[in-house]
């Protein structure tokens, strides 16, 4: 018998705390994958939370990155965190054919930066094949999560699903 437990807490404003943490963690992770530096006090101000909440989010991300053989680093001089990207370049040499279902607006933004082929175009969505590195394709899934859906290849879909599940598991371990 499989039992699924959902944590649902409300803060004083009536917002879903668990949902806020997940959104916050994914936003911070996306910034780090985009080669941005993140600063705890600035993030705390942006998300209207205590700096310790951001520290816990960064600890969850650090655990996830360690499982991926990547590292979250801290620059003491600037007091910023950043992600070491040396392992992300391994597969950038070999482009892969990746198919996404996406909005027309996102396609307009991306079409000039990648070799694309439109497979299907209807009133609401497009089915488009891109040539890109697998790590970049996974990155797209996190960055444009509201505007696209990974369709193929299955190996990349499995890799994305694994990364997402690992991120959620790390969050749930910290939430208990």
pLDDT digits (tens, 9 = 90+) for 90-102: 444 567 888 999 9
Query: Is 144 domain-assigned?
Result: yes
pLDDT digits (tens, 9 = 90+) for 52-61: 999 999 999 9
Residue 78 has φ and ψ, to the nearest 5°, of -95, -10
Identify the domain containing residue 74 by its residue range.
17-87
pLDDT digits (tens, 9 = 90+) for 76-95: 777 888 887 654 444 445 67
CATH number at residue 51: 1.10.10.10
Query: Is 112 domain-assigned?
Result: yes
CATH number at residue 131: 3.30.70
Contact 32, 64 (CB under 8 A): no
How many helices (H) and strands (E) are present in the chain, helices listed first? 6, 6
Query: Is 160 domain-assigned?
Result: no
Which of the listed residues 66, 87, 108 is the one where a domain comes to its end? 87
Distances, alpha carbon 69 to alpha carbons 64, 65, 138, 155, 176, in Å: 9, 6, 16, 19, 25
Question: To which residue do tokens 């699924």 refer?
Answer: 4
Contact 130, 143 (CB under 8 A): no
Q: Is pLDDT of 148 > 70?
A: yes
144: nearest Cα among 101, 111, 114, 115: 101
Query: What pTM does this model have?
Result: 0.46
Domain count, the chain: 2
Residues 49 and 102 in one domain: no
């Amino acid at each position: 018998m499989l039992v699924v437990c959902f944590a649902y807490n409300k803060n004083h404003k009536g917002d879903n705390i668990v949902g806020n943490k997940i959104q916050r963690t994914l936003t911070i992770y996306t910034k780090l994958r985009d080669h941005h530096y993140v600063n705890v006090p600035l993030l705390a101000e942006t998300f209207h939370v205590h700096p310790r909440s951001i520290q816990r989010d960064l600890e969850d991300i650090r655990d996830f990155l360690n499982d991926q053989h990547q590292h979250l680093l801290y620059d003491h001089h600037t007091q910023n965190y950043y992600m070491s990207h040396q392992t992300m370049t391994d597969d950038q040499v070999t482009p892969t054919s990746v198919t996404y279902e996406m909005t027309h607006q996102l396609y307009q933004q991306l079409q000039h930066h990648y070799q694309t082929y439109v497979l299907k175009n209807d009133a609401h969505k497009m089915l488009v094949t891109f040539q890109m590195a697998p790590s970049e394709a996974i990155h797209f899934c996190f960055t444009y999560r509201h505007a696209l859906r990974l369709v193929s290849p299955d190996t990349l879909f499995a890799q994305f699903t694994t990364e997402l599940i690992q991120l959620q598991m790390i969050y749930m371990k910290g939430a208990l």
